[in-house]
Amino acid sequence: MHIALVTGHETRPEDASFERLVAADSQPRALAGALADRGHDVTMYAPTDQEVSSGSDEVAPGVTLELAYVGATGEPGSAKRYATFLEETWRDDQPDLAHSFSCSAGLAVVAGDDEVPLVLDCRAVEVPPTKSLQDARWAKLQTALGRRAKRTLVSGHPQADELARRGIPRSTMSVVSYGVDLAVFAPEGDAAPRTDLHRLVCADGLVADQGAEKVVAALPHVPGTELVIAGGPSLNAIDTDDDAIRIRDLAERLGVAARVTMVGTLPAAELADLFRSADVVVSVPDNDTPRGPSCVEAMACGAPLVATDVDDIVLDGVSGVTVAAGASPDRLAVVLRRLVADDPRRTAYGIAGADRAAACFSWGRVATDVETAYTSAVRTGHFTGRDLTGKYRIG
């Protein structure tokens, strides 16, 4: 099957190696590799703000990268240039379907060639009730694309419920989890150095509403415990980052600044070391924002989780504890205090989580689930299986 993976993540020409692509935007790039391993012909499309020579580069066996010069992200005309690039590229080589990883990428697909079946990936898209005019416009675009798409990928049933309320047909939705590299994220391996304090890790970033502030607000009521926050800018930019400054100011006002450390965005191997050093990994966005892959990666490392119930990743009482998305810092503190003090329960959650990650979130499993969604999107053929042709055969 000829699959177009269309991202909105800006890529620079010097980063056009598969390893750097995966490091920069792990989920689409790793999925490309997994689909190619299953015999598909995969082309990734990404915008860039730098002039590039024409042509494409094979960045991994079966995976080709096409960079589209669109100017700076958000610059007037950039979206139109992306759509025009896709239209011209697909004029003589139309893919069997296009999988878009954002609303902007989905819009480029539809504007570029509305005959290509669209698979809209909403797993990383915020879906709470809109609060501003800009949010409302973005939600309206998402809903319009979801109605137009042949298939919509969601992170779990809570997200499916919200999108269905907005008018996207539930019959076109497929629940697909994030994938995890089990060779990197595993219980066995080094652990990051730590103090004698219990350790909480939050790896969802620093942006407001992603949950780091809520964990900081709970920390005064979880004694003998430190918090390490990963994500956001690189470590050398933490001191001047507005979100980091806001979190640091909150920690100082609450008297817990000595127990809060921000380490910035980490390479995958270092993030795995950090997860293995944690007593509990916390993922508690302040709204129903679908979380990124950090929960899956932490589970694969054998870390117990406390997470909001916005998807189907963490099983309450099995691989961790779930709390409502609107849970207060006081409520979160109670949950954390009890779990930190319960070594046997943490160990049991960690073992169950690692087993669940290996069984449900490997890239082979995720690629199989995505293939099933693709089959539903195309609806004109069937997968023959890699043993026969490794391709998609019509008829």
Burial of 209 (0-12, 13-18, 19+ CB in 10 A): middle
Model pLDDT for residues 10-43, shown as the tens digit of each residue:
655 454 444 444 444 568 888 999 999 999 999 9
Mean pLDDT value across residues 297-324: 92
Q: Determine the pLDDT at residue 11.
A: 59
pLDDT category of residue 228 using cuts at 50, 70 and 90: very high
Instruction: Answer yes or no: is pLDDT of 102 > 90.
Output: no
3-state secondary structure of 361: coil
Does 196 or 15 have the greater pLDDT score? 196
For residue 48, the model assigns a pLDDT of 85
pLDDT at 92: 87
Q: Can you tell me the distance from the alpha carbon of 387 to that of 76, in angstroms, rounded to the nearest whole number?
A: 48
Question: Is residue 344 pLDDT above 90, yes or no?
Answer: yes
Q: Cα separations (Å) of 78 from 32, 49, 98?
A: 25, 9, 19
Confidence class of residue 207 from pLDDT cuts 50, 70 and 90?
A: confident
CATH 3.40.50.2000, the chain: domain bounds:
2-179+362-394, 198-360
Lowest pLDDT segment from 22-31, 229-238, 274-283: 22-31
What is the second-level CATH architecture of the domain 2-179+362-394? Answer: 3-Layer(aba) Sandwich (3.40)
Q: What percent of the chain has pLDDT over 90?
A: 60
Is domain 198-360 annotated with CATH 3.40.50.2000? yes
CA distance 188 to 138: 42
Cα gap 186→173, rounded to integer Å = 30
Task: Pick 162 or 197 by higher pLDDT.
Answer: 197
pLDDT at residue 387, as a whole number: 32
Confidence (pLDDT) at 173: 94
In the numeric block, the tokens 């995958």 are attached to 268
pLDDT in tens, 140-153: 888 999 999 999 99
pLDDT of the residue at 392: 33
Tell me if residue 175 falls in helix, strand or coil: strand
pLDDT classification of 73: cutoffs 50, 70, 90: low
| The pair of three-digit structure tokens given for residue 76, joined into one six-digit string | 């007037």
361-375: pLDDT as tens digits: 999 999 999 999 999
Q: Is the pLDDT of residue 393 over 90?
A: no
Q: Answer yes or no: is pLDDT of 280 > 60.
A: yes
Dihedral of the CA atoms 140, 142, 146, 147 (nearest 10)?
20
